[in-house]
Chains A and B, each alone.
Chain A
Amino acid sequence: MQEKLQIITAVIYMISTVMRTIILYITVTLAIRLMGKRQIGDMQPNELVITLLISEIAAIPLQDTEQPMFIGLAAIFVLVFLEIIISILAMKSFSMRRLLNGQSVVIIKNGVIDQHAMRNVRMTVIDLIEQLRGQDVFNIEDVAFAVLEVNGNLSVLLKKDAQTVSVKDINLTLQDESLPLPVISDGKIIYESLRSLEVTPQNLNKILKHKCASHKDIFLMTLDREGNHTIIKKGGSII
């Protein structure tokens, strides 16, 4: 009897942990969606703080089942609300944005490193060289401007003589590129892409008929506004 009771208690505890995990997962996902889509590397300082806090708060009711879950959920949504308010304020006011997120710092000006600025942002020369290498820049003298952005990325503008030649420089006229969109994925037609491309399903069928294929046999088909398409059949063959 005692053993049975222990098993039942353990099962109830497990079920409550699973339920809590599911609810908190859905809540945190919803909260992050409300905050907006950004990658960790692109986050502003206040967004990073909020994200870290949310993950910490969500962990508390998971670890301590004695804590009512409502407290965790309430804290998460208050943080999301604050984040949205702060981001709106930062969007409306330049001084608010500077206060919350800081401002970009020019690290290299006309090939000369601003050592004072580097000290201010606590950036070492090794960090700078690493970041430059990440931008395919191996000679500091080639840099006209290097700006350390508030999210920690280094934006680099090369001197004119170090820049790669562009189509504009050699006065070539090329047709505008149009974005190819996936119109069939794993045998299923993506009608949203067709609408974006202003292509009717009948036109798509015409292309497929021309290629003697049915949409069900296609793994991936991309199409652009010019009608250029790539078709990969299930099994891997390109037609």
Chain B
Amino acid sequence: MKRLIPAAIILVFIITICFVANIYVNQNCDLTLENIKKYQNNEISSSKLESIWQEQKEKMALFVNHGFLDKITIYIGQLSAKENKAELDVVYQNIESVIKLIKAEQDFALHSFY
């Protein structure tokens, strides 16, 4: 019985972190998309976008597959090199699809259990 208490505390702690992480990752994903839209509308510069993303990436790396985050980093890096809107849209769609994958991974839907 004396082992149950520390194990239960750790379990509750982990479940809490899981829920908080889920909300945090989803919020950050939406924020990233918003920031890219701002970049498209020339509201922020590419260097500002990259620095914001770096900060988000470091925190999200605790809970999200690093491969997905690296892909987004590469796509954000490509944004400044694209000049016309069509090319920017392709990169934006790529980022959006990776973010969808991250969100799907964090999803509490039944299909994510099997």
Are A and B associated in one complex? yes
Where the two chains meet, the residues of A that have a C-beta atom closer than 8 Å to any C-beta of B are: 34-36, 65-68, 70-71, 73-74, 77-78, 80-81, 84-85, 88
Q: Which of these, B7, B14, B66, contacts A84 with CB under 8 Å?
A: B7
Closest A residue to B6 using CB positions: A34
On whether the beta carbons of A68 and B17 are closer than 8 Å, the reply is no
Residues of chain A with a CB closer than 8 A to B64's CB: 68
On whether the beta carbons of A67 and B65 are closer than 8 Å, the reply is yes
Q: Does B81 contact A (CB under 8 A)?
A: no
Report, as a range, how many residues of chain B touch the other chain.
Answer: 20 to 34
On whether the beta carbons of A70 and B10 are closer than 8 Å, the reply is no
On whether the beta carbons of B14 and A77 are closer than 8 Å, the reply is yes
Closest A residue to B21 using CB positions: A70
Closest-CB distance, B28 to chain A (whole angstroms): 14
Q: Does B63 contact A (CB under 8 A)?
A: yes
On whether the beta carbons of A34 and B62 are closer than 8 Å, the reply is no
Contact A74-B7, Cβ < 8 Å, known A67-B66, A68-B64: no
Q: Which of these, B1, B4, B18, B67, contacts A66 with CB under 8 Å?
A: B67
21 contacts between A and B (CB under 8 A): A34-B6, A34-B7, A35-B3, A65-B66, A66-B66, A68-B61, A68-B62, A68-B63, A68-B64, A68-B66, A70-B17, A70-B21, A70-B63, A74-B14, A74-B17, A77-B11, A77-B14, A81-B10, A84-B3, A85-B4, A88-B1
Report B1-58 residues with CB < 8 Å from chain A CB.
1, 3-4, 6-8, 10-11, 14, 17-18, 21
CA distance A71 to B14 in the complex (A): 10
CA distance A66 to B66 in the complex (A): 5
Q: Which of A35, A66, A67, A85 has the most CB of B within 10 A?
A: A66
Residues of chain B with a CB closer than 8 A to A84's CB: 3-4, 7
CA distance A80 to B8 in the complex (A): 10
